[in-house]
Amino acid sequence: MSEQDFSGVYIIDKPAGITSHDVVARVRKILNTRQVGHFGTLDPFATGLLPVSAGKATRFAQFYLKSRKAYAGVIQFGFSTDTYDATGKATSDPSPVAMDAAHMNTLFQEMTGRILQTPPPFSAKRVDGKRAYELARQQKPFELEPVEVEIYALELFGIEQDRVRFAVECSGGTYVRSLAHDLGQRLGCGAHLAELRRTGVAEFRESQAVTLERLAAAVEEGTIASCKVPLEALLPDCPELVVRGREEQSVRHGRHFELAQAARPGRGTGQEPARVANILKVMNSDRKLVAIARHVAGAVYHPDLVLV
């Protein structure tokens, strides 16, 4: 199988109990290539969408690591844990919980928008050059600085005794575990994340997801194209610029270009760009992705990522 055959993004439906690194290792073995990465870590206990890039698609990570995420999950109220989820040790004694939908919706509204959030102690954040989870395992004291994240939507799905079902859409870098922990702190009863499933990452949705087993079977069957998002489909909201002949060769050699001297976005369709875009998808006449070009100044763009 050539690089062109496997280059793309595979939306893996990660099962619980394995790390994102484990998934990457499995995909490397299935595709028989080292050129595999992922677009954002998913906690081992969580399930759901883990976009895994292969071949030339690994170079697109820079555009996705801070992208919008969506999750559905369950928060267990009554006690907190050191990991802020169900895999950790209890850090408070169980306490009775009395909750109602109106109060919970009010709390959800207060935590929507731009907020300061302190990452969990068991996280990959660095403290003096070391990962926070390494220090936490060694029970060494340390403090993590709060960071600004954005909660676009936080929706209550239901309350079942001391458990709350919810959905959230948030910016990259948000820890849903911290949301659960902070809700428990506000209620004064403690809480932790009992279940979590990622349902969306950037433009990727659950309808595109495949299991590791399905991917392996597709490779055996020669139907791998049915499992991947091709390079041309990535960054769907990015304007496209079609180039031909010498223009294409110039882009492939990494040379600056001006839109006034090259084909404009939507060439051949009668469409003109409505605004100056930060990046452009440069396509050839066969609708194959040639490069991602970044805006320099005025009408000047530079082929920042060339797919040769």
List residues with catalytic annotation.
43
Q: How far apart are CA 300 and CA 13, in angstroms?
A: 40
Q: How far apart are CA 257 and CA 252, in angstroms?
A: 11
Residue 308 burial by Cβ neighbours in a 10 Å radius (0-12, 13-18, 19+): exposed
- The tokens for 185 are 């702190």
Task: Give CA separation, 160 vs 74, 93, 156, 308, in Å.
Answer: 10, 20, 12, 55
Q: How far apart are CA 47 and CA 198, in angstroms?
A: 6
Q: Which helix (H) or strand (E) holds 107?
A: helix 101-110
- The tokens for 8 are 């793309």
Q: How far apart are CA 164 and CA 180, in angstroms?
A: 10
